[in-house]
Amino acid sequence: MGGWRERWQAWWRKPQAVAPVSTGVVWRLRVDRDRAAIGRFNERLETTLLPSVPEAALRAIQISVDELLTNVLMHAQQASGAIDIQLARSPGAVDATIEYLAEPFDPTTWKPLPMGDSIRSARIGGRGIPLVRQLMDEFRYEHIDGRNIVQLRKKC
């Protein structure tokens, strides 16, 4: 039997079972409160993620993030400053975190108004958050230190 050094080296080289962990942040970005900036972000999202994320998952993320950013732009009460976004790729999923300074608003519990009886009586808007719920595998919210934090996960 070998000495302690040989045993340690054999143990060290032995493959270890590793739980899935994040492969790291794809990127962190600050988006101005401007519709054109949201469009540019969406284009960068495609360029950055398409090589490693299936197209169907990428489109779901693009639509969901675009809807939520547009809601912040149009409806966030007393909002100020830019919107911070972080994207991370882990085995089998893409995670997006959207943070912005504003009054608390939990999109995960928001309920849309009834659609109306006809196209003429239907309201414009109010369909984005239900769409995000349908497209994402996880949709969470927190309000910490004056910041709204929305977390999305799309399995892929």
Q: Where are the domains of the chain?
A: 20-155
- Give the contacts of 4 (CB within 8 A, at least 6 positions apart): none
Provide the 3-class DSSP secondary structure of residue 51: coil
CATH 3.30.565.10 matches 20-155: yes
- Write out the chain's pLDDT in tens, 156 residues: 456 566 545 554 544 433 334 455 568 889 988 889 999 999 988 888 888 899 999 999 999 999 999 999 888 767 778 899 999 988 889 999 999 999 999 999 977 666 666 666 556 566 789 999 999 999 999 999 999 999 999 999
Dist CA 126 CA 123 (whole Å): 8
Provide the 3-class DSSP secondary structure of residue 20: coil
Kindly report the pTM of this predicted structure: 0.76
pLDDT in tens, 112-150: 666 666 666 556 566 789 999 999 999 999 999 999 999
How many helical (H) and strand (E) elements, i.e. helices and strands, does the chain have? 4, 5
Dist CA 29 CA 61 (whole Å): 15
Provide the 3-class DSSP secondary structure of residue 95: strand
When computed from its CA atoms, the radius of gyration of the chain, rounded to whole angstroms, is: 21
